[in-house]
Amino acid sequence: MASAIAIITSRKQRKLSWNSLCILLLTILIVSLCIGGIAPQKVSAHTSLTSAVPAANAELEQAPSSVILTFNERLEDGVYYIKVFDSKQKPVTDSKAKLNASRTVVQLDLPKLTTGNYLVTYHVISADGHPVEGTYLFSLGQSISQQPGGIPSNADLTFTGLSQEFGVLDMVNYLSRILYFITMLLFTGWVIWLRFGLGNIGNVRPMLEGWAVQLQRAYLLVFLLFMFTHIYAMVGNGGPEAMADLFTSTGIGYIWLGSLALSLLGFIVLYRNPWMDVVWVALLWVFKSLNGHAAAFAPQSQTIVLDVIHMAAAALWMGGLLMLLVLWRSNKEEAKVFFPRFSSIALASIALLTLSGVFIVLIFLPDIRYLVETQWGKMLLVKSALVLLVVLTGLTLRILYRKRTLEKVTYLLRVDAVLALLIACIVGIFTYLTPLPANEPLYWHVMGEKIHMTTQITPNVPGVNDITVKVWLPEKLGKPKQVLLKLRNAGTPEIAPIEVPLSFTTEDEKAFEESYNMKKHTYKARGAYLPYPGYWDIEIRVMDSNDDETVYQKQIRLY
Q: What is the pLDDT of residue 44?
A: 37
pLDDT average, residue stretch 424-448: 84
pLDDT at position 144 is 62
Helix (H, G, I), strand (E, B) or coil at 535: strand
Q: What is the pLDDT of residue 30?
A: 46
pLDDT at 494: 66
- Coil, strand, or helix at residue 422? helix
pLDDT band at 145 (very low <50, low <70, confident <90, very high): low
Residue 193 has pLDDT above 50, yes or no: yes
Say if residue 391's pLDDT is above 70: yes
- Residue 151 reports pLDDT greater than 50: no
Q: Higher confidence at residue 273 or residue 146? A: 273
Does the pLDDT of residue 443 top 50, yes or no? Answer: yes
Tell which CATH architecture fits domain 49-145.
Answer: Sandwich (2.60)
Q: What average pLDDT does the segment 196-203 reach?
A: 76
Q: Structural domain boundaries of the chain? A: 2-37+175-430, 49-145, 442-558
Q: What is the mean pLDDT of residues 359-367?
A: 84
Question: In the predicted model, what is the mean pLDDT of residues 335-339?
Answer: 87
Q: Flag whether pLDDT at 250 surpasses 70.
A: yes
pLDDT reported for residue 245: 80
- CA dihedral 510→512→517→522, nearest 10 degrees, is -20
What is the predicted pLDDT for the residue at 462? 86
Q: How much is the pLDDT for 184? A: 95
Give the H/E segment covering residue 396: helix 375-403
Query: What was the pLDDT predicted at 326?
Result: 93
- Closest by CA position to 57, among listed 122, 137, 143, 158: 137
**Residue that wins the pLDDT comparison between 376 and 46:** 376
pTM, two decimal places? 0.69
Q: How many other CB atoms are found less than 10 A from the CB of residue 306?
A: 22
Using CA atoms, how far residue 29 sits from 202, 278, 303, 318, in Å, is: 29, 12, 13, 19
If you average pLDDT over residues 178-197, what whole number do you get?
Answer: 93
Average pLDDT score over the chain: 81
Q: Give the lowest-confidence range in 6-15, 71-80, 215-224, 399-408.
A: 6-15
At residue 501, does pLDDT exceed 50?
yes
Q: Which residue has the higher pLDDT, 204 or 280?
A: 280
Q: Percent of the chain beyond pLDDT 90?
A: 31
Beta strands 131-140 and 482-489: pairing type? unpaired
Q: CA 219, CA 214: separation in Å to the nearest integer?
A: 9
DSSP 136: E
Q: What is the DSSP string of 280-304?
A: HHHHHHHHHHHTSGGGTSSSHHHHH
For the chain, the first-to-last Cα distance in angstroms comes to: 72
Identity of the residue numbered 304: I
* 403-421 pLDDT, tens digit each: 777 777 888 888 999 999 9
For 54-115, strand residue ranges (E) read: 58-60, 66-71, 81-85, 98-99, 105-109
In the predicted model, is pLDDT for residue 29 greater than 60?
Answer: no
In CATH terms, the fold of domain 442-558 is: Immunoglobulin-like (2.60.40)
pLDDT of 436 strictly over 80: no
Residue 370 carries which side chain, given as an amino acid letter?
Answer: Y
Beta bridge partners of 370: none
Could you tell me the CA-to-CA distances from 263 to 47, 212, 285, 528 in Å, in that order?
A: 29, 14, 12, 48
Query: Do the domains 442-558 and 49-145 match in fold?
Result: yes
Which of helix, strand or coil describes residue 213?
helix
Report which listed range, 100-104, 113-117, 383-387, is most confident: 383-387
- In CATH, the architecture of 2-37+175-430 is Up-down Bundle (1.20)
Burial (CB count <10 Å: 0-12, 13-18, 19+), residue 49: buried
- Model confidence pLDDT, tens digit, residues 42-54: 333 457 788 888 8
The reported pLDDT for the residue numbered 2 is 38
